[in-house]
């Protein structure tokens, strides 16, 4: 299965960030390796710019969230159709920061994933447990419930990203055994062909080890994707 290396820029980046992408392309010797898929999810303000500037560079652009409806009186929201119109091919839904900061339920995440598929986008559906849930031994119960509640019921394409909440942006990562066990658990819950990414403090120093684990089909990278040197190293680590 082709690995997918996705960069989630979160609420970072201005128009001048074009130079960081240009630097990334240069570090990859002018072209993205064609045996892996590369995705960059900048803030919504940069999607159109990045899609226009880098449409021929061999990587995709994605959004970080979308509304479940195609249009309407939803001030400040962006629909999946708008993302597609701006040049996006993917969209992240259900990230733990959205679930925590905006109270998004599994039902809401599923509606957004279905909206993404409706618009021709591939949703990257995020799941993951908190530190307290893992210490209580409930990590599989939690992730299993999130999968059951968040995945659309149809045959449309989607990606799963396992991100233990306690590892996001903290510098902490689960053991390789923990990652392998959770990815095997998720693999058994989704249909064949669905890629399962790992996210949570992925960086150049641990990328090769994480990406070599069975059932890890790529990575959802946060802070390290903002730095061309770090993101290029993670891309090269994918086999």
Q: Tell me: the pLDDT tens digits for 34-85?
A: 889 999 999 999 999 999 999 888 899 999 999 999 999 999 999 999 999 9
CA distance 14 to 16: 5
pLDDT beyond 80 at 203:
yes
pLDDT beyond 80 at 30:
no
Query: Token pair of 77, please?
Result: 């929201």
Beta bridge partners of 40: 7, 61
Domains, in order of start, for the chain: 4-237 (3.20.20.70)
Report yes or no on whether pTM surpasses 0.85: yes
Q: Which of 65-74, 88-97, 162-171, 179-188 has the lowest mean pLDDT?
A: 162-171
pLDDT beyond 70 at 31:
no
> What 8-state DSSP symbol labels residue 129?
-
Distances from the Cα of 122 to the Cαs of 56, 134, 135, 235, in angstroms? 20, 29, 33, 20
> What 8-state DSSP symbol labels residue 112?
H
Catalytic annotation on 74? no
Burial of 118 per CB tally in 10 Å (0-12, 13-18, 19+) = middle
- Catalytic site residue from 114, 163, 183, 217: 163
- Catalytic site residue from 20, 81, 95, 183: 95
Catalytic annotation on 95? yes
Query: For the residues 20-38, what does the mean pLDDT come to?
Result: 87
pLDDT beyond 80 at 32:
no
Q: What is the pLDDT of residues 90-109, one digit of tens each?
A: 999 999 999 999 999 999 99
Q: What angle do CA 75, 80, 81 make, to 5 degrees?
A: 95
Q: Is 17 helix (H, G, I), strand (E, B) or coil?
A: helix
């Amino acid at each position: 299965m082709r690995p997918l290396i996705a960069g989630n820029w979160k609420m970072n980046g201005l128009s001048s960030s074009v130079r960081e992408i240009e630097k990334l392309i240069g570090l990859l010797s002018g072209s993205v390796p064609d045996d892996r898929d590369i995705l960059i999810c900048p803030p919504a303000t940069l999607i159109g710019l990045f899609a226009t500037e880098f449409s021929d560079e061999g990587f995709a652009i994605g959004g970080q969230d979308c509304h479940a409806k195609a249009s309407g009186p939803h001030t400040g929201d962006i629909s999946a159709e708008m993302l597609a119109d701006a040049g996006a091919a993917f969209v992240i839904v259900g990230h733990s920061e959205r679930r925590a900061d905006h109270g998004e339920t599994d039902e809401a995440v599923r509606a957004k994933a279905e909206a993404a598929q409706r618009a021709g986008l591939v949703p990257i559906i995020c799941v993951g447990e908190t530190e307290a849930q893992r210490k209580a031994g409930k990590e599989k119960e939690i992730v299993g419930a999130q999968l059951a509640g968040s995945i659309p019921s149809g045959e449309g394409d989607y990606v799963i990203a396992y991100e233990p909440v306690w590892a996001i942006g903290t510098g902490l990562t689960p053991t390789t055994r923990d990652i392998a066990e959770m990815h095997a658990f998720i693999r058994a819950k989704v249909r064949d062909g669905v890629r399962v990414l790992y996210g949570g403090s992925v960086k150049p120093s641990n990328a090769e080890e994480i990406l070599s684990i069975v059932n890890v089909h790529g990575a959802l990278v946060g802070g390290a994707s903002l730095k061309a040197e770090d993101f290029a190293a993670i891309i090269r680590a994918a086999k």
